A and B are shown apart, each in its own frame.
Chain A
Amino acid sequence: DAKTTQPPSMDCAEGRAANLPCNHSTISGNEYVYWYRQIHSQGPQYIIHGLKNNETNEMASLIITEDRKSSTLILPHATLRDTAVYYCIVTGANSKLTFGKGITLSVRP
């Protein structure tokens, strides 16, 4: 599975959009991009995933570049409850997830 690179941390103001970047330059054609988050001491929570098209659900939007080498998770109106570690994961034909250290998002009042 391709490796991902995320900045260690970022912050944003409550009510604003949070844009979380992820690089996956070695992604191959059949690999998906998944985003999970982990709020302190809880189990990871699935957010969204995509192959090459942009995706949106009730939690977030996922924007994947045309060359698929990077993606951005967008939380449109961040709240304090969105403070968490966000993991960008690339996975292939099977469902094995390889978690890195993720990006810590801090939402400030």
Chain B
Amino acid sequence: NAGVTQTPKFQVLKTGQSMTLQCAQDMNHNSMYWYRQDPGMGLRLIYYSASEGTTDKGEVPNGYNVSRLNKREFSLRLESAAPSQTSVYFCASSNSFYSNQPQHFGDGTRLSIL
């Protein structure tokens, strides 16, 4: 049982390049989330998708776009990467955004932007 799978695990980009981070879950969850974690800090919510077909901004959405491709997959896109976006990115899923269910996390994508 894979849970939440993120690809790639590591990536180095140059400033201005674009990149899509992929996330897939096999738990039949309705809701999915993208977070970033900077060194020594807690996670911050970038975007979330409460259900298939919907997406909403979180705490730090600037510079990112998301796509809920289907119930399983939720991707995060950086259109023009900046050094300030160097971070570890975590995807999570939960059964329902509206009924306070635990979130299950992937192991992250470590992204460095030079």
Please measure, in the bound complex, the distance between the C-alpha atom of A25 and the C-alpha atom of B31, giving whole angstroms: 29
Q: Which residues 80-114 of B have a CB within 8 angstroms of A?
A: 90, 92, 94, 96-98, 100-108
Whether A101 pairs with B98 at a CB distance below 8 angstroms is no
Contacts of B61 in A (CB 8 A): none
Collect the chain B residues with CB atoms within 8 Å of residue A44's CB. 43, 90, 92, 103, 105
CB distance from A11 to the nearest CB of B (A): 19
Interface string of B17-57 (1 = CB under 8 A from A): 00000000000000100010000111111001000000000
Q: Is the interface on chain B under 10, 10 to 19, 20 to 34, or 35 or more residues?
A: 20 to 34
Given contacts A43-B4, A43-B90, A44-B90, are A93 and B42 in contact (CB under 8 A)?
A: no
Secondary structure at the A interface, as helix, strand, loop or mixed, is: loop
Q: A66 vs B79: C-alpha distance in the bound complex, in angstroms? A: 49
A34 to B45, CA, bound (A): 16
Residues of B near A42 (CB, < 8 A) are: 107-108
Known A43-B105, A43-B106: A96·B48 in contact at CB below 8 Å? yes
Shortest distance between the CB of B111 and any CB in chain A (Å): 14
Are A99 and B44 within 8 A (Cβ)? yes
- Pick 14 A–B contacts, CB within 8 A, sort by A: A43-B107, A44-B105, A46-B102, A46-B104, A93-B98, A94-B97, A95-B96, A95-B98, A95-B103, A96-B58, A99-B42, A100-B42, A101-B40, A101-B42
Known: A44-B103, A46-B102. 11 other contacts (CB 8 A): A32-B100, A34-B102, A42-B107, A43-B105, A87-B42, A91-B100, A92-B100, A94-B98, A95-B100, A99-B43, A101-B41
Interface residues of B (CB under 8 A from A): 4, 31, 35, 40-45, 48, 58-59, 90, 92, 94, 96-98, 100-108
